[in-house]
C-alpha cells in the first residue's frame, strides 16, 4: 500500500484539527505498548493519506480501541481473522464525505479508505502488529488493510446507531467493531419480515461461526441492511428492537450440531441451555441487545452479516474536544489553533 511522507509541514497541518497537545498520550497500544501521542497519531494519519480534518475521527477511534471492553490485546494477537471496522456516525459523516451508501465496504472513497488505513498503521507502528510474530491470524482478511463505513442515517426510518448507544442524534461519533469480512445475505424474494430476517438469522448462525460456541460470553454479532429493506421492514411496523429479538430467537443451532466440532468445549454453554438435551437451541449471543443493526449500502434488499469473535465488545465514542465538548464541526478546531498557534495547544 502507498505511504505518504509524514513531513513536518503535513503533520503540522494535521495537528491544526485538534486541541490536544502534540505530546499528550492518547493511548498505549498493545501488544508492543507503544505510546500513541497526538503527534504519533497525526503522523500515521498523514502516511495513510488522510485529509487533516479526519484527525478527530482517528483520535476518537484510538481512544475507543483501548477501552477494556474492546479487548485490543486479544484482537491484535488472536488467530481469528477479525479486522477493526470503523463506523462513522452523526453530522461529521457528511462533512468528511464518508461513504455510507453504494459500495459502502468497497473502493472509491478517500475518507473510508484512508481513515481505516490510518488505524491499521497505528496498530502496526505503535502496537507492533506483525503477522506471524504478534498478529497470529491464521488467514486474516482484506479489511486488515482498511475497514471503514459511514451509517446511512438519512436513509434509515429508525434512530441512528449512536442514539441506541445513548448519545444525542446531532452528536458526531464513531464505533469500532472487530469483525470478519462482510458476508452477503441475498434475499430479494421474501414477502414477510419473518422470512427475510430468517435468511439473515440462518447466515449468522453458521456452524463455522464463533458466536454459537461463545454465546455465554459478552460477544456481539452485527447486521448491515440497506435503506430500501429498512423502510420495507418499517412499513410492516418493525423496529430495530423487534429485529434484534427475532434474530436472537432464530439465529440458533441445536446442541447436537455443535458437539465435537468448531470451538466446542472452549467456553461454557449459556446457563439456560440443558447440556443433556441434544435438541436445545443455542443462540449466537447471550441477549438480543448484542445483535447490532446498522443501515448502510445502496439499492436492493441485500444484507451483510458482520460476524465477530464472540468475546469482545464494540465501543462507541463521541467526538469531543479535550474538555469533553462535543465536536459539531472539525473546522471549529481551526479557530482554536489560530488562538494558540499552529499545531494545536503546545
pLDDT score recorded for residue 340? 47
Rounded-to-integer distance, Cα 336 and Cα 174, Å? 23
| pLDDT exceeds 90 at position 342 | no
Cell 488522510 sits on residue: 50
| pLDDT exceeds 60 at position 339 | no
Query: Do the Cβ atoms of 222 and 179 come closer than 8 Å?
Result: yes
Count of C-beta atoms within a 10 Å radius of residue 86: 27
319 pLDDT tier (thresholds 50, 70, 90)? very high
| pLDDT exceeds 60 at position 224 | yes
| Segment 272-306, tens digit of pLDDT | 999 999 999 999 999 999 999 999 999 999 999 99
Q: What is the DSSP letter of 232?
A: H
Q: At 292, phi and psi to the nearest 5?
A: -95, 125
| pLDDT exceeds 80 at position 55 | yes
Kindly give the pairing relationship between strand 173-179 and strand 83-89: antiparallel
pLDDT score recorded for residue 346? 36
pLDDT score recorded for residue 328? 87
Query: Do the Cβ atoms of 61 and 117 come closer than 8 Å?
Result: no
More confident residue, 345 or 160: 160
pLDDT score recorded for residue 2? 78
337 pLDDT tier (thresholds 50, 70, 90)? low
| Segment 59-87, tens digit of pLDDT | 999 999 999 999 999 999 999 999 999 99
On average, the pLDDT of the chain sits at: 95
| Segment 148-205, tens digit of pLDDT | 999 999 999 999 999 999 999 999 999 999 999 999 999 999 999 999 999 999 999 9
Rounded-to-integer distance, Cα 189 and Cα 319, Å? 40
Which DSSP helix (H) or strand (E) runs through 155? none
pLDDT score recorded for residue 223? 98
Distance of CA 84 to the CA centre of its chain: 6
| pLDDT exceeds 90 at position 344 | no
333 pLDDT tier (thresholds 50, 70, 90)? confident
Q: What are the distances in angstroms from CA 129 to CA 43, 124, 133, 135, 222? A: 17, 4, 8, 5, 25
Amino acid at each position: 500500500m502507498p505511504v505518504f511522507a509524514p513531513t513536518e509541514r503535513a503533520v503540522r497541518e494535521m495537528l491544526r484539527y485538534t486541541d490536544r497537545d502534540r505530546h499528550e498520550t492518547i493511548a498505549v497500544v498493545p501488544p508492543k505498548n507503544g505510546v500513541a501521542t497526538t503527534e504519533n497519531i497525526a503522523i500515521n494519519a498523514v502516511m495513510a493519506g488522510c485529509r487533516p480534518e479526519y484527525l478527530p475521527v482517528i483520535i476518537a477511534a484510538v481512544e475507543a480501541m483501548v477501552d477494556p471492553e474492546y479487548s485490543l490485546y486479544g484482537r491484535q494477537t488472536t488467530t481469528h481473522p477479525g479486522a477493526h471496522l470503523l463506523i462513522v456516525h452523526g453530522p461529521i459523516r457528511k462533512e468528511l464525505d464518508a461513504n455510507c451508501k453504494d459500495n459502502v465496504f468497497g473502493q472509491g472513497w478517500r475518507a473510508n479508505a484512508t481513515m481505516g488505513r490510518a488505524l491499521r498503521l497505528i496498530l502496526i507502528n505503535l502496537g507492533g502488529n506483525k503477522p506471524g510474530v504478534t498478529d497470529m491470524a491464521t488467514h486474516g482478511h482484506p479489511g486488515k488493510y482498511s475497514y471503514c463505513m459511514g451509517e446511512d442515517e438519512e436513509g434509515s426510518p429508525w434512530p441512528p446507531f449512536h442514539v441506541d448507544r445513548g448519545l444525542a442524534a446531532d452528536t458526531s461519533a464513531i464505533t469500532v467493531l472487530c469483525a470478519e469480512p462482510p458476508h452477503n445475505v441475498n434475499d430479494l424474494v421474501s414477502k414477510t419480515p419473518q422470512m427475510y430476517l430468517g435468511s439473515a438469522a440462518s447466515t449468522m448462525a453458521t456452524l463455522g461461526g464463533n458466536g454459537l460456541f461463545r454465546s455465554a460470553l459478552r460477544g456481539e454479532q452485527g447486521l448491515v441492511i440497506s435503506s430500501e429493506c429498512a423502510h420495507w421492514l418499517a412499513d410492516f411496523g418493525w423496529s430495530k428492537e423487534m429485529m434484534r429479538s427475532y434474530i436472537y430467537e432464530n439465529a440458533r443451532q441445536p446442541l447436537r450440531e455443535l458437539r465435537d466440532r468448531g470451538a466446542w468445549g472452549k467456553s461454557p454453554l449459556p446457563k439456560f441451555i440443558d447440556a443433556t438435551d441434544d435438541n436445545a437451541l443455542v443462540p449466537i449471543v447471550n441477549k438480543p441487545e448484542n445483535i447490532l443493526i446498522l443501515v448502510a449500502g445502496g439499492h436492493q434488499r441485500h444484507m451483510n452479516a458482520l460476524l465477530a469473535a464472540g468475546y469482545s465488545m464494540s465501543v462507541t465514542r463521541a467526538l469531543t474536544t479535550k474538555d469533553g465538548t462535543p465536536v459539531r464541526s472539525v473546522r471549529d478546531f481551526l479557530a482554536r489553533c489560530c488562538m494558540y498557534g499552529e499545531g494545536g495547544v503546545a
